Amino acid sequence: MADQDDESMTEEDLLSEHKKQRKDLQAHIQKLKRSVPKGDKKKKKEVTEEIAKLEAELDQRQDQELAAFQQKQKTESTVKSLENLSTEDLPEEGEGDVPFDKVKKSKAQKRREKKAAQAKEREERIREQEAENIFLARNVETEKIKKFLSERGLQIKEIASDGNCLYNAIVHQLSLKGIEASNEGLRQQIREYMQSHEVDFMPFLTKENGDCYSHEDFVQYCESLATTTAWGGQVEIQALSKVLKMSIEVVQAEGPLIRIGEECEGNPLIIIYHRHMYGLGEHYNSVQKKTEEGEDDFS
């Protein structure tokens, strides 16, 4: 466990570290999936079993780390409560030595510990329910998308969840048209386009506190867009449509099909917007023609 000896680590820090580990594992899993030759069922089975093993090992290790951390916190809390006992809870003079762990707790201390235990149990139930809800929401969303695509003779083409999913989904769609492109190249193109059409894009960008972007904020936004793995959204899709001179269809489970750049001729690029993918939130995948087996990429 990272920073295991750091006395300042909180349970929230540990859970955050666990979330990062799961994200790293998902990235590794994507590499394993992509290593499977198309149609090689034996290799696909081996990779699926290896993925299941990796996920089980991570679950077990994180459960053990969390249990050990909680036990440590509980022990420290008990020691602290004993140190804070009032003098009336200590043995009277002449009663003899009483073992430290046998000193009676005050009623107030017992009530505090009971409340703390109940609050902790409630928080754990909330976390468990949130995890269950995310898993359920993801499955429901995926099934709706699969059904919609199947009716159009399409299926999901999975894209790695590394911050570049929007751009790599577009790269895949372009490759189906015989057009070579790259994540880095697309990012550079839309930075240049957005900077030269600032008045068209800046009104749609706001800071976390709701304030509008200044010119300097917009320049920094475009720079980050081109030089980091910053996640792309609606604004970037608009810019991509303009740069590529192609319409882009965004399939989603909730809400209507979105088509951007309807004025463009030719078949649109088709991408999928997921709200609940990988438990990490929003994600974009691509699509491809439905195969004979009709199987999506490990979805």
Cβ pair 91, 100 in contact under 8 A: no
Catalytic pick among 165, 222, 274, 276: 165
Select from 179, 177, 160 the least CA-distant residue to 168. Answer: 160
C-alpha–C-alpha distance, residues 164 and 231, integer Å = 6
Select from 222, 214, 236 the least CA-distant residue to 282. Answer: 236
Cβ pair 237, 166 in contact under 8 A: yes
Cβ pair 193, 242 in contact under 8 A: yes
- Catalytic residue check, 162: yes
Please report the beta strands in 129-280, taking only residues with DSSP state E, as ranges in sequence order: 154-157, 248-252, 258-260, 269-277
- Catalytic residue check, 212: no
- Catalytic residue check, 283: yes
Catalytic pick among 18, 172, 276, 283: 283
Task: Classify the C-alpha dihedral 241-246-250-255 as positive or negative.
Answer: positive
Catalytic pick among 13, 89, 162, 200: 162
Which residues have a catalytic role annotated? Answer: 162, 165, 283
